[in-house]
Structures are given as structure tokens and as C-alpha cells.
Amino acid sequence: MSDEDISSHRVFIGLGSNLGDRHGRMRAALKLLDEHPRITLEKHTDFVETEPWGVPDQPIFLNAVACITTTLEPHALLAELKRIEKKLGRVERVKKWGPREIDLDILLFGDLVIKTENLVIPHAQLTRRPFVMGQLLEIEKNIVHTVHRVPLRNFLDSD
């Protein structure tokens, strides 16, 4: 297969950190994404402090959204994100939505809709997290939710 046969996918990644050197880990995650031979970092939002979601009694998060293009398929990209998290010191936690050194989530992967045991695209909590939707819309103001088939901004306007 030649390089011309490999299709490129536009993907949005959510980044978050609320332990240790949050800024340093977020910058390192973006750098590692961009250095990957099959990933190109197109752009990312500024880092924004947000209140914890899901488990309120924990440190403030630093969040951002990145837009990448990749020739990796969804599960291969997920494996790469997990590898980057581990390289940057992520420790697996027992508490869901608890504190973490770094978190990299696939928010949207082109127009794909996937629901497997270890991967849900679009991200299962996307429309319940206004700070993530706001950052996504900062990059792509007319983005459409791939399940509901309506502009993502509609989920913010309905509050």
C-alpha cells in the first residue's frame, strides 16, 4: 500500500490534567502527539482552568482541545494516547473521574460513530461538558455532533 492509499482522519482530542506540573504535562502531550510520524497537530486551544467534573472534591483541572490529522485508525490512536499518558506519568486510578496526571480523550474522529467496550466516539460525556464543547467550537465553530447530527453549539444554546 502506498502512502497515497492511506486516508487521513481529522480528530479532536481532549486534554486534561489536575496533578503535578499540569502545564508541563499538557505541553509535553501536545509535543508527543506532533512528533508521532502518523499524527499532525493542526491546532489547539489555550489551556483553561476548569472545575472538576464528576468528582468535585479534587484539584482544579487544566484543559484544552487539540485538532489533529492522523492516518491511525481509532483503536490504534487510542493505544497511542494511552502510551503517551503512561509516558507522562499517568497512574491508573480506581476512582472514575478522579484526579489524574494527564488525560487524553478522543472526542470526535471524523464522522465515525463507534461504541465498543473500550472506545466510544463521539466521547460519551461530550454534550455534558460545556467547557469541552466550548473549546471544540473555538477550533471549529460549525462542527456537527456525529450521533445527533446537529451542530454542537445547539447543546450549549439549550441551557
Query: Which pLDDT score is estimated for 159?
Result: 44
Count CB-CB contacts under 10 A for residue 30: 20
Is the Cβ–Cβ distance between 123 and 81 less than 8 Å?
no
Could you confirm whether 38 is annotated as catalytic? no
* DSSP bridge pairs for 103: 16
Is the Cβ–Cβ distance between 131 and 48 less than 8 Å?
yes
Query: Which pLDDT score is estimated for 157?
Result: 64
Query: Which pLDDT score is estimated for 76?
Result: 96
The active-site residue, picked from 103, 111, 128, 129, is 103
The active-site residue, picked from 21, 34, 83, 105, is 105
Query: Which pLDDT score is estimated for 115?
Result: 93
Query: pLDDT (tens digit, 9 = 90+) per residue, 144-159?
Result: 888 888 888 888 865 4
In a structure prediction context, what are the per-residue pLDDT tens digits for the chain, which is 159 residues long? Answer: 444 557 899 999 999 999 999 999 999 999 999 999 999 999 999 999 998 877 778 899 999 999 999 999 999 999 999 999 999 988 776 666 678 899 999 999 999 999 999 999 998 888 888 889 999 999 999 998 888 888 888 888 654
The active-site residue, picked from 46, 100, 111, 159, is 100
Query: Which pLDDT score is estimated for 92?
Result: 77
* DSSP bridge pairs for 15: 64, 104
Query: Which pLDDT score is estimated for 75?
Result: 95
Could you confirm whether 83 is annotated as catalytic? no
The active-site residue, picked from 34, 90, 129, 157, is 90
> What domains lie within the chain, and their CATH numbers?
3-124 (3.30.70.560)
Could you confirm whether 103 is annotated as catalytic? yes
Query: Which pLDDT score is estimated for 5?
Result: 53
Strand bridging mode 39-44 / 48-50 = unpaired
Could you confirm whether 100 is annotated as catalytic? yes
Residue 26 grid cell: 499538557
